[in-house]
């Protein structure tokens, strides 16, 4: 666990906190995502895209015996805040996501991905719905 004597949030290459990047309606494709970042795709009514977008995870160049240090153990996430649109996460080139060319992130779902630095292994991605408030 990282520790500091600073009184506020700290961002470092070793951890501490991850900034959240809102994705506004600028493009229908977000390529070479910063895989260690967290993204929020805003809903259309909040200024987000009016059409589905595709996020392409970066090219991994390592192997199982010599993993790519940029992506060995890296984690990232994407929250689809839209209530209508389904967005897509693609692997780069022939690298897959969960063994498929792409995965869908339905409305109001969170996707979390992880890589192991091996270009011959898929990116692993977990898709989770938002938990609604419990009825009282």
Instruction: Please state, in angstroms and rounded to a whole number, the distance separating the CA atoms of residues 109 and 121.
Output: 24
pLDDT at 38: 81
* CATH pick for 19-129 out of 2.40.50.1020, 2.60.34.10, 2.40.420.20, 2.60.120.640: 2.60.120.640
Residues 39-53, mean pLDDT to the nearest whole number: 86
pLDDT at 123: 94
Query: Bigger pLDDT: 133 or 120?
Result: 120
Looking from the CA of 15 toward its CB, the CA atoms found within 13 Å total 6
């Amino acid at each position: 666990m990282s520790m500091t004597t600073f009184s506020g949030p700290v961002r470092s290459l070793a951890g501490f906190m991850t900034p959240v990047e809102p994705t506004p309606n600028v493009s229908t494709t977000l390529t070479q995502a910063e895989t260690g970042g967290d993204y929020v795709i805003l809903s259309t009514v909040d200024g987000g895209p009016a059409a589905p977008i595709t996020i392409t995870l970066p090219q991994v160049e390592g192997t199982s015996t010599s993993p790519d240090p940029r992506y060995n153990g890296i984690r990232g996430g994407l929250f689809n805040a839209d209530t209508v649109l389904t967005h897509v996460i693609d692997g780069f080139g022939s690298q897959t996501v969960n063994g498929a060319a792409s995965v869908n992130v339905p409305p109001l779902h969170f996707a979390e991905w992880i890589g192991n630095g091996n270009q011959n292994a898929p990116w692993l991605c977990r898709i989770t719905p938002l938990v609604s408030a419990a009825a009282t």
